[in-house]
Amino acid sequence: MKLSSSLVIATILCFTFSCNMDDNDFSQENLHGTWELSSYWEESELFLVQAYEFNEDGTFEHRVTARQQDSNIDFGYNSLTSGTYSLAGNKLSLEEKEFLTIPEESTVWYTGMDKLVGGDWNRETEITISLKERKSQLVLDFPCPPFAQCTGPITFYRK
């Protein structure tokens, strides 16, 4: 009985520590792929989808799109940002080089990619990240300037 209790406790401890170690492994390979967050907008009956795509070559794309429920097809774009990224520990640095968005005079919140306006852009952001649920969730904690109303950490899900 004592041996079986010890085995159960050892198994639980191994599982607990392996999960924690798994989530704290911050490597570029763990970022590669697409991470999404969606929210339903009742007035348009569409989903607003934010997606980060991190590529093996150190480039990234952040897009905000409109998507129909129960579909993986995007109807149009609200914005598109691209650039390069690097990772040092749990700090993700984004160097945004291009930013496109819907025209200011637009009456809709999404449009075709060919109608986005903008261009060269140069902004650097350092984000604190964490990985959760066996690397299936990416939590981004953006910096919050003094006196700003910030949302706190945002969780994206591996696609």
Return the pLDDT at 23: 61
Predicted TM-score (pTM) of this structure: 0.82
Q: Which two tokens stand for residue 45?
A: 């009956």
Domains of the chain are 2-158 (2.40.128)
What's the distance, Cα to Cα, between the start and end of the chain in Å?
A: 45
User: How many angstroms separate the CA atoms of 62 and 13, rounded?
Assistant: 38
User: How many angstroms separate the CA atoms of 41 and 76, rounded?
Assistant: 15
Q: Is the pLDDT of residue 88 over 60?
A: yes
Average pLDDT over residues 99-112: 94
Percentage, residues of the chain above pLDDT 70: 85
